[in-house]
């Protein structure tokens, strides 16, 4: 027995297509998943779609179930929620999250899927990978009770970071973005909002997620002496230019990278990646994250939708893709 499925591929930079794929019956220890909804991680997937993964980072940037190679043809993506149709009895019929590309059905090891809590809707569950990144960032950053923290860049990751920071008692969190319409998003997340030129200085910690040189420069400018910018942006092949001739040295400022590929140093050896993902899914019981689900399309529309997202013609935080019989 087999299932005829379809998957989204980047045929070449800037061009996407749907390709048929035959999905075989799962072997022992595997599961067959029927996709309900997937999410587009706009920043990273736009870079992949445009063919902007540097040669030096092609191995590092491989998605767990990627097929093909950068710049293309390549099947890429990592925010997928579906229902287990075949597999171990304890998983059969459960809604699960998987780091899988956009595809109607797929077979993966049972260990690769994570059960979604019953009170977390499938649409919200696609944010699990994003919230996991935010969890890792806070483990890296180590914010303290009562800190003044700015998050520069109100995209998916920045918004998820801001929501987690808002839960720390006494912490004053400001979400900073060039798009004034993100003020409403900030309010829904329970944090303040500021345009870059209006953002308050004297921040104990700044988390940067805008993916721009200007955003990173502003993040540095907002710090107190000896403060740290935690950098979550991935720039692909874009060069970053900073002005470090001013207070960067005199005030002993720091830039620290954070990325989700490994557990943050502060928790490494005490938390596994599975435990980190389980925590992210538990945190998604919070309905405030629904404000990040700002656009949706059908799977069949994906070859037309991805170029618009990559070009910024579709304004979305997390654009979700729905499937036949799905969410």
| Tokens read off for 241 | 């230019």
pTM of this prediction?
Answer: 0.93
Residue 322 in this model has a pLDDT that exceeds 60: yes
Final residue belonging to a domain, choices 257, 273, 303: 257
**Rounded distance, CA 192 to CA 173, Å?**
6
Average pLDDT over residues 168-180: 97
Q: Are 9 and 92 in the same domain?
A: yes
Q: Are residues 50 and 152 in the same domain?
A: no
- Same domain (yes/no): 51, 122: yes
Q: What is the mean pLDDT of the chain?
A: 95
Domain match, 120 and 137 both: no
Q: Which residue has the tokens 């059905």?
A: 105
Check which CATH number belongs to the domain holding 197 and give it.
3.40.50.720
Examine residue 122 and state whether it is found in any structural domain, yes or no: yes
Are both 123 and 45 inside the same structural domain? Answer: yes
Round to whole Å and give the CA distance between 251 and 209.
22
Name the band, by pLDDT with cuts 50, 70 and 90, for residue 192. very high
pLDDT one-digit tens code per residue, 228-278 = 999 999 887 888 999 998 899 999 999 999 988 899 988 999 999 999 999
CB atoms within 10 A of CB 69: 11
Q: Are residues 141 and 233 located together in one domain of the fold?
A: yes
**Is residue 266 in some structural domain?**
no
- Could you give the maximum distance between any two Cα atoms of the chain, in Å? 68
Q: Which two tokens stand for residue 66?
A: 């990627």
Tell me, what's the pLDDT at 152? Answer: 98
The answer to whether residues 92 and 139 belong to one domain is no
Is 80 exceeded by the pLDDT of residue 50? yes
Decide if 23 contacts 32 (C-beta within 8 A): yes
Q: 10 Å Cβ neighbour count for 169?
A: 6
pLDDT in tens, 56-81: 889 888 999 999 999 999 999 999 99
Question: What are the tokens at 263?
Answer: 């557990």
114 and 176, same domain (yes or no): no
d(CA 118, CA 148): 35
Q: What are 29-46's pLDDT values in tens digits? A: 999 999 999 999 887 899
Residues 71, 16 share a domain: yes
Query: Is 64 a domain residue?
Result: yes
Distances (CA, A) of 277 to 87, 208, 266, 293, 309: 21, 22, 16, 19, 27
The pLDDT tens digits for 131-161 are 999 999 999 999 999 999 999 999 999 999 9
Look up the domain containing 241 and give its range: 130-257
Statement to judge: residues 118 and 171 lie in one domain: no
Locate 194 and state its tokens: 């500021």
Query: How does residue 28 score in pLDDT terms, banded at 50, 70 and 90?
Result: very high
Q: 63 and 9 in contact (C-beta within 8 Å)?
A: no
Condensed to tens digits (0 to 9), the pLDDT of residues 200-237 reads: 999 999 999 999 999 999 999 999 999 999 999 988 78
Residue 327, pLDDT > 60, answer no
The reply to whether 145 and 247 lie within a common domain is yes
Residue 23's CATH number: 3.90.180.10
> Residue 123 falls within a domain, yes or no?
yes
Confirm whether 327 is domain-assigned. Answer: no
- Asked if residue 251 and residue 134 are part of one domain, the reply reads yes
Q: 325 pLDDT exceeds 80?
A: no
Residue 268 lies in a domain: no
State mean pLDDT over 80-94: 98
* 24-28, 37-41, 56-60, 187-191: least confident range: 56-60
Give a yes or no: residue 210 inside a domain.
yes
Closest by CA to 41, choosing from 282, 273, 258, 310, is 310
Q: Quick check: is 94 in a domain?
A: yes
Q: Which of 240, 257, 274 is the last residue of a domain?
A: 257
Q: Which residues of 154-167 are buried (b: 16+ CB within 10 A; e: fewer)?
A: bbbbbbbbbbbbbe
How many Å apart are CA 190 and CA 223, to the nearest integer?
22
Query: For the chain, what is the domain count?
Result: 2
The three-state (H, E, C) secondary structure of the chain, written as one string? CEEEEEEEEEEECCEEEEEEEEEECCCCCEEEEEEEEEEECHHHHHHHHCCCCCHHHCCCCCCCCCEECCCCCEECCCCEEEEEEECCCCCCCCEEEECCCCECEEEEEHHHEEECCCCCCHHHHCCHHHHHHHHHHHHHHCCCCCCEEEEECCCHHHHHHHHHHHCCCCCEEEEECCCCCHHHHHHHHCCEEECHHHCCCCEEEEEECCCCHHHHHHHHHCEEEEEEEEECCCCCCCCCCCCCCCHHHHCCCEEEECCCCCCCCCCECCECHHHHHHHHHHHCCCHHHHHHEEEEEEHHHHHHHHHHHHCCCCCCCEEEEECCCCC
């Amino acid at each position: 027995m087999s299932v005829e499925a379809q998957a989204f591929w980047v045929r070449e930079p800037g061009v996407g297509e749907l390709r048929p794929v035959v999905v075989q019956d799962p072997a022992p220890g595997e599961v067959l998943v029927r996709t309900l909804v997937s999410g587009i991680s706009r920043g990273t997937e736009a870079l992949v779609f445009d063919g902007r993964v540097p040669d030096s980072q092609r191995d590092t940037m491989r998605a767990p179930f990627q097929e093909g190679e950068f710049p293309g043809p390549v099947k890429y993506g990592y925010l997928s929620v579906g229902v287990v149709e075949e597999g171990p009895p304890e998983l059969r019929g459960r809604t699960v999250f998987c780091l899988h590309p956009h595809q109607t059905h797929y077979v993966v090891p049972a260990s690769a899927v994570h059960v979604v809590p019953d009170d977390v809707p499938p649409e919200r569950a696609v944010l699990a990978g994003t919230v996991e990144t935010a969890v890792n960032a806070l483990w890296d950053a180590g914010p303290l009770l009562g800190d003044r923290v700015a998050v520069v860049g109100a995209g998916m990751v920045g918004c998820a970071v801001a929501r987690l920071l808002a839960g720390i008692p006494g912490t004053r969190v400001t979400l900073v973005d060039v798009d004034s319409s993100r003020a409403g998003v900030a309010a829904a997340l329970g944090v303040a909002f500021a345009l870059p030129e209006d953002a308050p200085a004297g921040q104990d910690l700044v988390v940067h997620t805008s993916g721009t040189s200007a955003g990173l420069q502003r993040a540095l400018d907002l710090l107190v002496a000896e403060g740290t910018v935690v950098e979550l942006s991935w720039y692909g092949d874009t060069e970053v230019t900073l002005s470090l001739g001013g207070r960067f040295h005199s005030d002993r400022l720091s830039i620290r990278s954070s990325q989700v590929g490994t557990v943050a140093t502060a928790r490494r050896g005490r938390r596994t990646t599975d435990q980190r993902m389980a925590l992210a899914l538990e945190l998604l019981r919070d309905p405030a994250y629904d404000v990040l689900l700002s656009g949706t399309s059908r799977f069949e529309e994906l070859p037309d939708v991805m170029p618009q997202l990559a070009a910024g013609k579709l304004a979305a935080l997390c654009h979700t893709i729905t499937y036949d019989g799905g969410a």
